[in-house]
Structure 1
Amino acid sequence: MANSDNIFKPSLAEVLRKLDPDDSEQIMDYFKTQVLLMREKALLQASVREEKKLLVENAKLKDDIAGLKVQLQEKHRRRTAKALYAPAPPAPSPASAPSTAAPLVGGATSPLATTTEREGTSRRRRGERRGRTKSDSLSLVAEPRVDVSRFDLRIGRILSIRRHPLAEALSIQEVDVGEPAPRTVVSKLKGEDIEELRGSLAVLLCNVKPCKLKGVMSQARVLCCSASGDHVELLAPPPGSTPGDRITFHNYPGEPDRELAAKEKVWEGLQPDLRTDARGVANYKGAGFEVKGKGLCRAPTLTDCAIR
């Protein structure tokens, strides 16, 4: 029945021939071309959607890999520090081991006792060799790096600033460092003109351990330079800097710690080498505070002074 129905259904080409015998072939070619174009457009749109999906997945994988890399470095650093500070087991002294040889008549010793003594001596020697091997392996373990690359230094914008209600020498800032929420920072910025710092860019150490200062939790450290007296200046980022920009050092590559361990006193050990040079450029042992592609951080007026 279906075949008989198809017999009485004229094709599109036949209909066109009847309607327009002269241009029917051109119209059919036009229809075929449009169908092919629609198919190609659909394929192109599908490939674009797939490409966007792959780009999003690729970016997510990169973020996951970066996070895992930081975790791996942190675990390796902790294991290295633990191995360095772990005491080596004391090697047993041969002289302190009691003799198990039982004397026989005439000053001879029992063969069984002699064998036991030999086994004990062999065990002691193996223990000494193991102790020496462990000590040698510990001496070959690389010491954890202690340089400025362990600092997480970022550009931040001071959104608000006010005096600390419990201490005249302190002020409280809310600072945007490129994160979803601003950080609260307690610092020694003081004076009658602190309100002028609202909206200013600054350099912040962001991986210090949060601590309470006069009842207010401080989540970062604002870096300033100071000369003799009470004159203090914020380090000025290079033009074009934005909150969240990282500061790096040409001669000191490496990822910063997730959080500086207070017991290691990394800040206290490195701070004496943080200074401004004769041009006012902030540096660590001659390596400038650099925002890649934008320039160097510097003090507005102070030169040859400490950064705190």
Structure 2
Amino acid sequence: MDAMDDVDNLFHPSLEAALIKLDPEDGKQIMEYFRTQALLMKEKALLQASVRDQKKLLVENGKLKKDIEQLRSQLQENQRRRSAKALLSAAPPPSHTSPAPTTHVNQPAGVATNPAPPSSLDRRERQIRRRRGERKARPPSDSLSLGAEPRVDASRLDLRVGRILSVRLHPLAEGMSVQEVDVGENAPRTVVSKLGGETPLEELRGGRAVLLCNVKACKMRGVVSQARLLFCSTPDDCTELLTPPTGSTPGDRVTFLNYPGDPDRELQAKDRVWELLQPDLQVDSRGVANYKGCGFEVKGKGLCRAPSLTDGVIR
């Protein structure tokens, strides 16, 4: 942090004035080069901090796995004990008196002389089998409750870098606009957004943005929207598009170091993944977009950020 502040202090107006005085032709280009290098140093420091956080999370995950294994062993032991108790309680009590023999006079040969005990034994065996079946049916539900729940984190989002090819006002909705965006596919995607109120549309054309590409296509006031533009919003109602790092190209994936995994093919409305993740999608005090403190990263190229806003939410 102190190193970053020292880099920021280098760009004092007096330094720029001195460089321009020494070299009127190239002074401004030298200052711009210094600023670019300083931004790269900051992003490198942020990535290093993310690596340290990842190591801490790996240690915590190892501890959680051990705790889960202990809980699973305890559950299985408790289930075995309950099954044993159920079998003991279902066993017939010892009989101290023998049943009286039947007194049929003309009983044919080969017919059992005491049919009652076998039927009662059958009933008890059926009861024991039913109880065994109930006990055996419970462990799968317990194991599902421990480890089979689907993950809900930012790795399920298909975030990509896009370039806005064209932009126009929505013909039927005031305050909305329609963009054609290149996301590295054979054809551009049509996106309907709420940009276009205070944001000059001409400034959007040709710009780069971050898009959520695995949302279900839906019709918005007669125009089908095939993706979602991500932007930063602050409490005072200021908004601006998130921008990918310098050097990124349309179609580049935006990933999260601490949350690896492949995105869903399409986010299902019933799962409410976007709604569950949105409270943790934020822009921090440095303007860096992050999920639970883990930056939006284009591998090898840097982090996504809001151009000028800080301490906002991502929508």
**TMscore range, shorter length:** 0.5 to 0.7
CA contact (8 A) 1:280 1:302 kept: yes
Structure 1's consecutive aligned runs of 4 or more residues displaced over 6 angstroms after TM superposition are none
Aligned to 2:141, which of 135, 139, 163? 135
Aligned to 2:202, which of 173, 195, 200? 195
Map 1:260-279 → 2, pairs under 5 A: 260-279=267-286
1:239, 1:157 → 2: CA distance?
13
Q: Which structure 1 residue ranges, 5 or more long, are not aligned?
A: 1-92, 95-103
- What is aligned with 1:149? 155
- What is aligned with 1:289? 296
> Is residue 280 from structure 1 mapped to residue 272 from structure 2 by the alignment?
no
| 1:134–1:228 CA distance, 2 compared to 1 (3 A) | closer
Q: Which structure 2 residue ranges, 5 or more long, are not aligned?
A: 1-85, 88-98, 102-113
| 1:271–1:141 CA distance, 2 compared to 1 (3 A) | same
Identity %: 69
Aligned to 1:181, which of 184, 187, 204? 187
The code of the aligned residue for 1:303 comes to T
2:177, 2:100 → 1: CA distance?
91
Task: Write out per-residue CA displacement over residues 205-239 of structure 1, whole angstroms, 9 at most, x where no aligned residue.
Answer: 00111111111110000000011344210111111
CA contact (8 A) 1:227 1:306 kept: yes
**Which has the greater radius of gyration?**
1
| 1:253–1:134 CA distance, 2 compared to 1 (3 A) | closer
> Is residue 207 from structure 1 mapped to residue 207 from structure 2 by the alignment?
no
| 1:145–1:119 CA distance, 2 compared to 1 (3 A) | same
- What is aligned with 1:160? 166
| 1:302–1:143 CA distance, 2 compared to 1 (3 A) | same
CA contact (8 A) 1:206 1:220 kept: yes
Aligned to 1:233, which of 212, 233, 240? 240
> Is residue 116 from structure 1 mapped to residue 118 from structure 2 by the alignment?
no
2:233, 2:131 → 1: CA distance?
61
1:149, 1:124 → 2: CA distance?
44
CA contact (8 A) 1:162 1:195 kept: no
1:228, 1:140 → 2: CA distance?
39
Report the TM-score, using the length of structure 1 for normalisation.
0.63
CA contact (8 A) 2:253 2:298 kept: yes
Report the TM-score, using the length of structure 2 for normalisation.
0.62
Report SS of the residue matched to 2:122.
Answer: helix
The code of the aligned residue for 2:140 comes to K
The code of the aligned residue for 1:219 comes to Q
Aligned to 2:229, which of 211, 214, 222? 222
1:170, 1:293 → 2: CA distance?
34
1:248, 1:231 → 2: CA distance?
26
